[in-house]
């Protein structure tokens, strides 16, 4: 599964990605998150709530992880963009012949 040339988008455990504007508008996407506006808007709203509820945003790391059993969302944001990575939570199994 090839995304863009950026290493974080093409890592073996990355299942999909979204790069969105601060309002959730998708700028680019790929993999299982290709054009997934629902996820983009939902996470953009979460980021907005986090920023509004954090008194000192300068101390905020601007990174969250949303964990599920078999996958997780790694979210990193700046004032203009939100990067959402969908990553596998299960270890890769190597098969020997």
pLDDT digits (tens, 9 = 90+) for 62-82: 899 999 999 999 999 998 999
C-alpha closest to that of 85 among 40, 52, 22? 40
C-alpha separations of 50 from 36, 61, 97 in Å: 22, 11, 49
State residue 5's pLDDT score. Answer: 42
Q: What is the mean pLDDT of residues 12-25?
A: 95
Q: What is the pTM of this model?
A: 0.80
Pick the more confident residue, 51 or 64: 64
Q: How far apart are CA 91 and CA 35, in angstroms?
A: 27
Task: Write out pLDDT tens, residues 31-48.
Answer: 999 999 999 999 999 999
Q: Classify domain 7-88 at the CATH class level.
A: alpha beta
Q: Is the pLDDT of residue 59 over 70?
A: no
Q: Where are the domains of the chain?
A: 7-88
Q: How far apart are CA 22 and CA 72, in angstroms?
A: 21
State residue 61's pLDDT score. Answer: 78
- Report which DSSP code applies to 60: -
The band of 6, judged by pLDDT with boundaries at 50, 70 and 90, is low
């Amino acid at each position: 599964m090839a995304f863009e040339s950026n290493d974080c988008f093409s890592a073996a455990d990355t299942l999909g990605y979204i790069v969105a504007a601060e309002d959730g508008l998708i700028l680019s996407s790929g993999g299982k998150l290709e054009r997934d506006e629902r996820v983009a808007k939902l996470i953009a709203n979460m980021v907005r709530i986090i920023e509004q509820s954090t008194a000192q945003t300068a101390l905020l790391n601007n990174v969250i992880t949303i964990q599920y059993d078999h996958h997780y969302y790694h979210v990193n944001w700046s004032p203009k963009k939100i990067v959402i990575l969908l990553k596998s939570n299960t270890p890769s199994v190597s098969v020997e012949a």
